[in-house]
Chain A
Amino acid sequence: MTADRIIFLLTAGVILGSAIMVVVTRKLIHAALWLVAALFGVAILYGILQAGFLAVVQVVVYIGAIAILFIFAVMLTRKETLEKGTQTRPNWWLPGILGLIILIGLIILITGHIDFNRTAEQIPTNIDTLRLLGVALVSPDAFVLPFEIASVLLLAALVGAVFVASGKKE
């Protein structure tokens, strides 16, 4: 067993464990923090795959912005009403079965894929993946159109948020 595999198994265990804790735990703020742990685990997986940029962006965006806003929103709710009562609904078995079918289907699909047994190739150290990514994002024959459309969409969301927050001035 190589060191990479040990790290992968540990990380995968942490991600799965924390993901289960997100839905099982009774306190909402604990759920948000378990989500942070799961997202951090995903960042480690990106790190193992030599996608350093994606790993850091995962931490900046998901933990630094989204998870902190989750926690902030949870703090503003009343905790008494949320920590009582059962955690399952009477018809929980239906989504359970659906989820199981999807899981089995995904496992069959992924194990049947041609590249399933291939090991990831090591990226040579002399290739600057970050620079390649940057060039790909702005070159016309690569991803410039999706990149710009996403930017415009985010700008529209930003303008909309400012408009909603500022209220009507009469």
Chain B
Amino acid sequence: MVFVNDPIKYLDAVIRDLLTGWGLSNGLSTVIIYFIGITVLIIFAMVLDIFLVWVERKVVARFQDRLGPNRIGPFGIIQPFADIIKLIIKEDITPGGADKFLFNLGPVLAISSVIILWAILPISSKIFGVDLNVAVLYLVAAGALGTLSIIVGGWASNNKYALLGAFRMVANMISYEIPMVIALLIPTILADSMSVQGITQAQGGMWFAFLSPLALIIFLISAIAELGRSPFDLNEAESEIVAGFHIEYTGMKFGLFYAGELLHAFTFGGFIAVLFFGGYGGFFGLEKIGLFSWLSNPFVQAIVFLAKAMFGYWVIMWIKYSMPRIRIDHMLAFNWKFLTPLALVVLVNTAILGKVLAGFPNWIYVLGMFSSNIVIGFITIQILRIYGRKQRNTLLKNSSTNGKNQEQVA
């Protein structure tokens, strides 16, 4: 067992030897090793989070035709540490009417709802927290805790803007959970498994992004809604409700909400990579050729996974900084009248076509799946076009009759 091929098992064996050598029982050393593993994973996620602050600020600057932080350190890479020091030395204020316990619980829940997602994130075939057989549902369950953190924080602040933000978040999350669950069912059906390792390994030959591009788009939209990022950032809409649910939070408590949001976005980038882009693998069978066998090394896989996750995160940032916020009734109508029916159609299509094409050669299966998605997408766009034209015609008719009325009045 060499460190390079299976680092976790190797380290486990080394530490276990050490602990049992000190006279600890095997059971106790297992508990200690698990604690060390969990701590290391959380520290990795939080250190990555510090780096993400810099990435986010640099990328938003580029999207807005600015340079971004560039004074402290090369390319401004030490800027996040300056941010953290600023947040720590700021005064920590608890509003007079606030519910003290819940007010402090809000940010803790916000960051922990993200960190528990890292338990199932398959960083590589050998480096992962746990391979749950219900990982896809676990993702949805962790989202519920995120909603709870925003409700708790928004309510405990005893501020009407914060409460409004919390109300909006509930409406947002409860409705967008439905297309998200349906979109999550599609990789589950395609891989015939709910475990993230199983889904990753099922994409060794072909990414699910090609088998069901519509599911990818639906998942991306509902993931952004669940993150509460623009264009779905109604819970903190600065121009309407000042800062929404975290209006009363100062210093590091605000910092936890902020860090939680960034890490959440990156984690969802990771899940997009796992569910639709082959995760740490998905090299189309390249790693089986002798020359490229280094691709199945766990460290190479981890780098591939982080790169794919970063790409997903970049897409989420791209959408955030180029789209205006949508109105709440439009947001709900978009979900219930468009996204949910479309997700259901794609789900039924995937289930039926997957069984019909199962006996055919692989290229016919892939081509059939892909083209059926294109056909559904085309029909959707046609329906939207007809609907949009009808809306515009009624508006035109109304404005013309209004104009006539005004003329008559004049």
Q: Any chain A CB within 8 A of the CB of B148?
A: yes
Interface size on A, residues (CB 8 A): 24
Q: Any chain B CB within 8 A of the CB of A44?
A: no
B 350-391 binary contact with A (CB < 8 Å = 1; else 0): 000000000000000000000000000000000000000000
Q: How far is the CA of A59 from the CA of B140 in the complex (A)?
A: 9
Q: Which of B27, B102, B147, B163 contacts A64 (CB 8 A)?
A: B147
* Cβ < 8 Å to A, chain B residues 76-111: 99, 102
Given contacts A33-B152, A65-B174, contact A53 B140 (CB under 8 A): no
Q: Any chain B CB within 8 A of the CB of A56?
A: yes
Q: How far is the CA of A64 from the CA of B140 in the complex (A)?
A: 8
Contacts of B31 in A (CB 8 A): 3
Given contacts A3-B27, A68-B151, contact A33 B143 (CB under 8 A): no
Contacts of A29 in B (CB 8 A): 99, 102, 155
- B102 and A53: CB pair below 8 A? no
Which single residue of chain A is at the shortest CB-CB distance from B142? A59
- A56 and B170: CB pair below 8 A? no
- A72 and B170: CB pair below 8 A? yes
- A59 and B141: CB pair below 8 A? yes
Which single residue of chain A is at the shortest CB-CB distance from B30? A3
Q: How far is the CA of A44 from the CA of B245 in the complex (A)?
A: 29
Which single residue of chain A is at the shortest CB-CB distance from B105? A33
The dominant DSSP class at the B interface is: helix
* Cβ < 8 Å to B, chain A residues 21-78: 27, 29-30, 33, 36, 52-53, 56-57, 59-60, 63-65, 67-69, 71-72, 75
Q: Which of B9-17, B129-137, B205-213, B273-281 contacts A (4 or more CB under 8 A)?
A: B129-137
Q: How far is the CA of A3 from the CA of B35 in the complex (A)?
A: 14
Q: Which of B144, B152, B166, B177 contacts A63 (CB 8 A)?
A: B144
Which single residue of chain A is at the shortest CB-CB distance from B101? A30
Q: Any chain A CB within 8 A of the CB of B167?
A: yes
Q: Any chain A CB within 8 A of the CB of B145?
A: yes
- B170 and A52: CB pair below 8 A? no
Contacts of B133 in A (CB 8 A): 52-53, 128-130
8 contacts between A and B (CB under 8 A): A30-B102, A36-B148, A63-B145, A64-B140, A64-B144, A64-B177, A68-B174, A69-B174
